Amino acid sequence: MRTRRTVRSAHALAGPLLAATLLVTGCSGAGDSADSKAGAGVAADERADAQAGPESAKQGAPGGTADRSAPSAPRIAAEHIIRTASLTVRVKDVPTALDEARTAITGAGGYVGDETTRRDSQGHERTRVVLRVPVDAYDRVLATLEGTGTLVERNASAVDVTDQVVDVESRIRSQRASVARIRELMDRATRLSDVVTLEGELSSRQADLESLLARQASLKDRTSLATITLTLSETPVKKAAKADDEPGFLDALAGGWGVFLTLLRWLMLALGAILPFAAVAALVVLVWSRLIGPRLPRRPRPSPDAGNGDA
């Protein structure tokens, strides 16, 4: 009886023990899987951080993530800029100021282009000259030219043509490759018609290439040398009249002589204007009196006797 009770009690305890064992095993397995998953996640995060390390260093953000508050990288300055300026300066002596401008331009490595000089009715000179100066010395030369006299007007502009330069360079490379391909086809051509067609195509593409090269040279010239249009005008110098500069006898005599010469000149002009008409009138009178007048019939004069008889 005791043996059966012992066996039954053993069977009765075996069920709860097996359940507890399975529960403990399941919990430990779940913990191990969770730990393994967590470890795998940590390892993956570490590998991701290691891979993102260089990018994080470039972005300057801690922890491998981009810092939105960090300042953006500065833009690259434009390399191809066309600079032009026009200056109007009033000076006392145009030739002297022009020599100073030439000296400044030559010293900066530039040269003088077109030059136009004219003089007004009062004898004041006005010179317009086009100057080309390297862009490195543009600001310095501009300040020097402004200091030659009194600045009246100044206009300056800067145009970025970097996109045009890059586009032209790309098109030149493509056009050169195209010309090379046409020449290769010409070397392989055997029929005369093919050669003639390829020659026409080659001439057209070479013309396009030369046009692009000319445009590239123009852009290079305008971006490497700034253009300054300088206008120099003289300042009229007015002398102040003195208090004791009153007209005298000689002044009156000089004034009267000037009036006489002016009147004589106008009389000569009037005589010169009338002289052709007077010559024509004299010729008409001469012809009439010598040729036409004597041939005309004359009326008989009434006699005095006939008059008395009627009375």
Q: What digits encode the pLDDT tens for the residues 91-120? A: 988 888 989 888 999 899 999 888 888 887
Residue 250 clears pLDDT 70, i.e. is over it:
yes
Q: Which residues of 289-301 are buried (b: 16+ CB within 10 A; e: fewer)?
A: eeeeeeeeeeeee
Apex 60 CA angle, 58 and 62, nearest 5: 120
Q: What is the identity of the amino acid at 81?
A: I
- pTM (2 decimals)? 0.48
Q: pLDDT exceeding 90 applies to what percent of the chain?
A: 26
Max CA distance (Å), the chain: 223
Residue 63 pLDDT grade (very low, low, confident, very high; cuts 50, 70, 90) = very low
Please report how many Cα atoms fall inside a 13 Å half-sphere around the Cα of residue 250, on the Cβ side: 1
Round to whole Å and give the CA distance between 106 and 226. 14
Say how many residues make up the chain: 311
Say if strands 150-160 and 125-134 run parallel, antiparallel, or are unpaired.
unpaired
Q: What is the pLDDT of residue 287?
A: 82
Q: What is the mean pLDDT of the chain?
A: 74
Q: What is the pLDDT of residue 220?
A: 92
Query: Where are the alpha helices (H) located in the chain, listed in sequence order?
Result: 2-59, 94-107, 138-146, 162-188, 192-224, 249-287, 304-310
Q: What is the pLDDT of residue 79?
A: 72
